[in-house]
Amino acid sequence: MTHALVNPNLMSWSRRRAGLSEADLAESITVQEDKVLAWEAGESKPTFRQAQQWANLAHVPFGYLFLSEPPKEELPLPDLRTVGGAAPAAPSLDLLDTVRDVLRKYEWYLDYLKEQGLSSLPFVGKFTSTARVADVVADIRSVLGVNEAPHRQGGEEYLRQLIAGADAAGILVMRSGVVGANTHRKLDVGEFRGFAISDKFAPIVFINIADAPAARLFTLIHELAHIWIGSSGVSSVSPSSNRQDEIFCNAVAGEFLVPKAKLTPLWRKVDDWVALLPELAAIFYVSKLVVARRACDLGFISSDEYGRYYVLELNAHRDQKKAGSGDFYKTAGSKNSKRFSRAVLTEALSGRLLLRDAGKLLGIQPAKIRTYAEKVND
């Protein structure tokens, strides 16, 4: 039996990095916990098969286990999550893997565009964070093809309308609440709400849908604002952020959804401000949470008051989500964006891309590629 000459320190590092206990690894690899302890202590070595199982469970490349020391891991995008002057916590494995997965898709899509003939998008980086908020809002509306007060059928319909406009303009909008296709690795909205890749040819917006549905609308516009000012990065979309780009993008999202000039005369100072939200939400065709967020940004309520209300909305969403899951193909479409999906499917069905590779890019089984192609435009 051949044993893998792995570095025991890397085994310990990878286990802790993935948030696993010795007992977790032992149960999954079907060995005694003493065996795992012995591997990490360097007293014995796992077989190659056991080491490969370990790497899969710890979500690291197999070769990492043979390194002399743990690799230095940093977010491959600027970290804009600073809140109130405090540095953000080190990115979790889930956040790192999510960003890497999207960057892998971005690199493939950029190569695809080069073959099709690159064409830069004029709105990417058109403004800076010192521009007039109203000018950026107006330009986003123009590119997405929406009016200030369009006919809407609720927040979810408006979100779909905006995403469709972004897709038509050349922006990939990807949405997921898990890492890749792994439903056991759920993303934490407390860590990040979204991120943007501000590329003149292939801009991407990612939205963490573990968040409350009402909050996703704000995150979408916030991340689109990053595209418009040419700023890439991972955002918490926090009302208390002290970073200039984040403050500006919050202001753009707020003004886009609930214009200050219209909300200010309607906001009444009352003891129960929550009671105002249904009326105002109906006026602006947005959710109560979006109105509360705008009231916070304008100083009508405190960050603590908004934070408590947001937690209530998020918990309500989590309770509802336990009821069931959505359609597989619709989920794949929103996770990858329709524009990206269509590009991959075109290449796969033409034979220029192996079904296996298309499946890896889309996070679906190769056998489901053709069925997905039939449903992606539904």
User: Which of 165, 221, 219 is CA-nearest to residue 193?
Assistant: 219
Average pLDDT for runs of 10 along the chain of length 378: 88 87 90 91 92 90 90 86 65 90 96 91 96 96 83 69 94 92 84 94 95 86 97 86 88 93 86 89 85 91 89 74 59 89 94 94 91 80
Beta bridge partners of 313: none
Both tokens of 159, joined, read 């979100």
DSSP 172: E
Q: DSSP characters for 316-327?
A: HHHHHHTT----
* pLDDT at site 220: 95
Question: What Å distances lie between residue 297 and 71, 212, 224, 247, 340, CA to CA?
Answer: 40, 18, 18, 9, 34
Instruction: Specify the amino acid at residue 353.
Output: L
* pLDDT at site 239: 80
| 3-state helix/strand/coil string of 134-157 | HHHHHHHHHHHCCCCCCCCCCHHH
Q: Which CATH superfamily is domain 8-66 in?
A: lambda repressor-like DNA-binding domains (1.10.260.40)
* pLDDT at site 322: 53
* pLDDT at site 180: 82
* pLDDT at site 149: 61
Both tokens of 278, joined, read 């249904």
- Cα angle 106, 196, 168; round to 5: 70
Query: Longest Cα pair distance anywhere in the chain, in angstroms?
Result: 78
Beta bridge partners of 318: none
Q: Is 260 exposed, middle or buried (0-12, 13-18, 19+ CB in 10 A)?
A: middle
Tokens 């990040």 correspond to 192
* pLDDT at site 325: 52
Beta bridge partners of 47: 3
Q: DSSP characters for 57-110?
A: HHTS-GGGGGSSSPPP---SS-B---BTTBPPPPPPHHHHHHHHHHHHHHHHHH
Residues 146-162 pLDDT 10s: 877 655 555 578 888 89
**Which residues have C-beta within 8 Å of that of residue 296, sequence separation ≥ 6?**
239, 302, 303, 305, 306
Residue 249 CB neighbours (<10 A)? 31
* pLDDT at site 82: 65
Residues 130-147 pLDDT 10s: 999 999 999 999 999 987
Nearest-Å Rg of the Cα atoms of the chain is 23
Q: Is 203 exposed, middle or buried (0-12, 13-18, 19+ CB in 10 A)?
A: buried
Question: What Å distances lie between residue 308 and 89, 273, 362, CA to CA?
Answer: 22, 13, 37
Does residue 175 contact residue 341 with C-beta atoms inside 8 Å? no
* pLDDT at site 232: 95
Does residue 336 contact residue 363 with C-beta atoms inside 8 Å? yes
Q: What is the pTM of this model?
A: 0.83
